[in-house]
Amino acid sequence: MTTAPMPAYAGPSRVFSGMQPTGGLHLGNYLGALVKFVRLQHEHECIYCVVDLHAITIEHDPKALQQQCREVAAAYIAAGVDPKKAIIFVQSAVPAHAELAWIFNCVARMGWLERMTQFKDKAGKNAERMSVGLFDYPVLQAADILAYKATHVPVGEDQKQHLELSRDIAARFNSDYNAPNFFPLPEPLIQGPGARIMSLRDGSKKMSKSDPSDQSRINLTDDADAIANKFKRATTDPLPLPETAEGLKGRPEVENLVGIYAALADLSVDQVLGEWGGKGFGAFKPALADIAAQKLAPIAGEMRRLLVDRTALDEILRDGAARADAISAPMMSQVRDIVGLWRR
Q: Figure out which of the listed residues 78, 155, 207, 254 binds ligand TRP, where binding follows CB under 6 A.
A: 155
Quick one: 158 or 275, whose CB is closer to ligand TRP? 158
Beta bridge partners of 47: 16, 87
d(CA 75, CA 33): 11
Closest residue to ligand TRP in the complex (CB): 18
Residue 54 sits in the site that holds ligand TRP (CB under 6 A): yes
Quick one: 206 or 230, whose CB is closer to ligand TRP? 206
Q: Figure out which of the listed residues 9, 16, 48, 284 binds ligand TRP, where binding follows CB under 6 A.
A: 16
Quick one: 49 or 227, whose CB is closer to ligand TRP? 49
Q: Is 206 annotated as catalytic?
A: yes
Residue 159 sits in the site that holds ligand TRP (CB under 6 A): yes
Packing angle of the helix pair 281-308, 310-339 (nearest 10 deg): 90
- To ligand TRP, the closest distance from the beta carbon of 301 in angstroms equals 26
Quick one: 155 or 303, whose CB is closer to ligand TRP? 155
- To ligand TRP, the closest distance from the beta carbon of 118 in angstroms equals 8
Residue 57 sits in the site that holds ligand TRP (CB under 6 A): no
Site string for ligand TRP, 127-146 (x = CB under 6 A): --------------x--xx-
Total residues in contact with ligand TRP, by rule CB under 6 A:
12
User: CB under 8 Å to 289, separation ≥6 — which residues?
Assistant: 224, 227, 228, 230, 231, 232
Q: Is 209 annotated as catalytic?
A: yes
17-25, 35-43, 246-254, 336-344 -> range binding ligand TRP (CB under 6 A) = 17-25
16-24, 62-70, 199-207, 296-304 -> range binding ligand TRP (CB under 6 A) = 16-24
Residues in the chain: 344
Out of 36, 84, 85, 122, the active site residue is 122
d(CA 142, CA 174): 14
15-23, 37-45, 203-211, 260-268 -> range binding ligand TRP (CB under 6 A) = 15-23
Q: Residue 18 in contact with residue 91, Cβ under 8 Å? A: yes
Residue 68 sits in the site that holds ligand TRP (CB under 6 A): no
The number of C-alpha atoms within 13 Å of 234 and in the hemisphere containing its C-beta is 30
How many CB atoms sit inside 10 A of residue 278's CB?
A: 9
How much is the CA Rg of the chain, to the nearest whole Å? 21
12-20, 126-134, 192-200, 272-280 -> range binding ligand TRP (CB under 6 A) = 12-20
Site string for ligand TRP, 23-52 (x = CB under 6 A): ----------------------------x-
| Nearest residue to 102 via CA among 269, 317, 341 | 341
Strands of the 45-50 sheet, one edge to the other: 87-90, 45-50, 14-19, 152-154, 187-189
DSSP 252-316: HHHHHHHHHHHHHHT--HHHHHHHHTT--HHHHHHHHHHHHHHHHHHHHHHHHHHHH-HHHHHHH
Out of 206, 230, 285, 295, the active site residue is 206
Q: Is 230 annotated as catalytic?
A: no
Q: What are phi and psi of 81, to 5 degrees?
A: -70, 130
d(CA 258, CA 148): 37
Catalytic residues: 122, 206, 209
Residues that bind ligand TRP (CB under 6 A): 16-18, 20, 51, 54, 141, 144-145, 153, 155, 159
